[in-house]
C-alpha cells in the first residue's frame, strides 16, 4: 500500500447479530467507476463507508488503487442504486441503527458523513437532541471506531456542527475520540471553492490516524485554483 499499511486481520465479535433490512430493487445509473484511472495499484486498505450517499469515499478509494474490501451502509433507494451501479462488488448494507460489531467486516479505513440536518444553520438546529434521533446516529460510527480501531478514519459534517450550542456536539465527538488515546486527531473546516470546485460549501472534518499503523505524517491537501462552471459542466447550449 502507498501508505505503508498492511492488512489488519484482527477481528472482534459479539454474542449475537442483528438482522439486516431488505430494500426494493431500483434501476442502476448509467455510469461506471471503471472510468476512474487508479493513481496507485497496490493499496489493499479496506474501506467502510457509513451514511454512504453516493459513496464519494469509494471513488477516492478506487482512484488510489483500492483493492481491499469495500462495505457501505446506506438506506436511500436512489443512493443504493448509484452505489450498486458504480461498485458492483461493494458489500452494500442498510441502516446503522442497532448495528452490532459482529455485523461489520474487518476494515482499515472508516469514512462517515453522518446526517447534517440536526446541525445545519438552515435547519431546526436540534443538535444531538433532535427529536427525530438523527443527531445521535454518529454514535454508530464512533462505536465502530472504538471497537474495531481502524487504521484511519474521517468524520465529516456541516461547518455549523463545530459551533452549534456552543460547540456541544463537537465536544461530544472530539471528547469521545480523545478518550480512546489511540489516534492523532486533525480537525479543520474546509471549503470546496478552495479545492477546485465552483461552489462555496464549508464542511467540518476530523481525521484520525492510529499512531501505530501509518508510516507517513498526515497533512491537509494543498489548495487548488477554483475551476469555472464551464470547465466542470461544459459550454452552455446554443440559444435558438
Kindly list the catalytic residues.
116
CA distance from start to end of the chain: 53
HEC-encoded secondary structure of the chain? CCCCCCCCCCCCCCCCCCCCCCCCCCCCCCCCHHHCCCCCCCECCCEEEECCCCCHHHHHHHHCCECCCEEEECCCHHHHHHHHHHCCCCEEECCCCCCCHHHCCCCCEEEECCCCCCCCCCCCCCHHHCCCCHHHCHHHHHHHHHHHCCCEEEEEEEHHHHCHHHHHHHHHHHHHHHHHCCEEEEEEEEEHHHECCCCCCEEEEEEEEECCCCCCCCCCCCCECCCCHHHHHCCCCCCC
Amino acid at each position: 500500500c502507498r501508505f505503508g499499511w498492511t492488512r489488519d486481520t484482527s477481528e472482534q465479535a459479539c454474542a449475537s447479530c442483528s438482522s439486516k433490512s431488505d430494500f426494493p430493487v431500483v434501476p442502476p445509473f448509467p455510469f461506471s467507476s471503471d472510468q476512474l484511472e487508479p493513481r496507485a495499484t497496490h493499496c489493499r486498505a479496506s474501506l467502510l463507508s457509513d451514511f454512504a450517499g453516493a459513496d464519494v469515499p469509494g471513488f477516492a478509494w478506487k482512484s488510489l488503487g483500492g483493492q481491499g474490501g469495500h462495505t457501505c451502509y446506506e438506506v436511500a433507494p436512489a443512493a443504493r442504486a448509484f452505489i450498486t451501479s458504480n461498485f458492483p462488488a461493494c458489500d452494500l448494507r442498510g441502516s446503522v441503527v442497532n448495528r452490532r460489531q459482529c455485523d461489520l467486516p474487518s476494515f482499515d479505513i472508516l469514512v462517515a458523513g453522518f446526517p447534517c440536518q440536526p446541525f445545519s444553520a438552515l435547519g431546526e438546529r436540534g443538535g444531538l437532541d433532535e427529536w427525530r434521533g438523527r443527531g445521535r446516529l454518529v454514535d454508530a460510527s464512533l462505536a465502530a471506531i472504538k471497537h474495531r480501531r481502524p487504521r484511519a478514519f474521517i468524520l465529516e459534517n456541516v461547518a455549523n456542527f463545530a459551533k452549534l450550542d456552543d460547540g456541544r456536539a463537537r465536544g461530544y465527538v472530539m471528547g469521545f475520540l480523545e478518550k480512546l488515546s489511540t489516534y492523532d486527531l486533525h480537525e479543520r473546516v474546509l471549503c470546496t471553492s478552495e479545492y477546485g470546485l465552483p461552489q462555496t460549501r464549508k464542511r467540518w472534518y476530523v481525521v484520525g490516524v492510529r499512531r501505530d499503523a501509518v508510516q507517513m505524517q498526515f497533512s491537509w491537501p494543498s489548495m487548488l485554483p477554483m475551476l469555472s462552471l464551464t470547465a466542470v459542466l461544459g459550454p452552455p447550449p446554443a440559444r435558438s
